[in-house]
Amino acid sequence: MLCMLLFSAVTESAGIPVGTELVAVGTPYSPGMLSGDTLYVTALQGTGATTHVLPDDFSQEARNCLENLGRVLNDAHMNYSDVVSVQIYLDDMSQFKEVNAIYGKYFESPPPARTTVQVAKLSLGAHIEISESPADEGDTELGGKCGKRSRVQSIAEREKLCQTCAVDDVDSHRPLGGANRGKQPDVVFRLI
């Protein structure tokens, strides 16, 4: 019994995995880990969300990367407007212009800070891999569909705000604008 309690305490403090449906069973990493109000996101490839297979078309592979990252954000009750930093890994820098055209459809102005680098090779024959760092939820001004504005410190407080204004969707209270993206995030990189 004591062993079970200790294991439970360790797993709760380690964080909550998010986006687990994006990787094949037995994969030795989580697409994202939510620890407190901070989301740590793995660099993800452009595999199909359910098939885990890379498409033949580079444009589709790039869109899949961004869609997969969006699923991780969504699982953590966040969205693309919460992202403050993006890291893109390409196996061919000549695809930079094509990536920019696709990327611009996902991030509003002002876009997050970004690094793009060419690498020699990516696993599974991928041509692109993207990671992102969302802002810490702390001390962000929120505005909801209900018209309420509030400064909150945590996801729990945001959920409480939703309950007090009778809006049942936590995502209806999102950070307002790029200028209020929050404080400097904890940055974690994971290269596969």
Q: Are 44 and 71 in contact (CB under 8 A)?
A: no
For the segment 122-162, what is each residue's pLDDT rounded down to a tens digit? 999 999 999 999 887 553 444 444 544 443 444 555 555 55
Token readout for 115 is: 């690094």
Backbone angles phi, psi at 135, to 5 degrees: -70, 150
Say how far apart CA 183 and CA 32 lie, in whole Å.
20
Confidence of residue 164 (pLDDT cuts 50, 70, 90): low
For the segment 25-35, what is each residue's pLDDT rounded down to a tens digit? 888 888 999 88
For residue 160, the SS3 value is helix
pTM: 0.66
- Chain mean position to CA 106: 12
Comparing 152 with 70, the larger pLDDT belongs to 70
Say how far apart CA 62 and CA 75 lie, in whole Å.
20
Q: Are 23 and 36 in contact (CB under 8 A)?
A: no
- CATH architecture of the region 17-139: 2-Layer Sandwich (3.30)
Least confident range from 44-58, 83-97, 134-148: namely: 134-148
Q: Which of 70, 188, 69, 79 is nearest to 140 (CA)?
A: 79
Across the strands, what pairs with 87? 115, 131
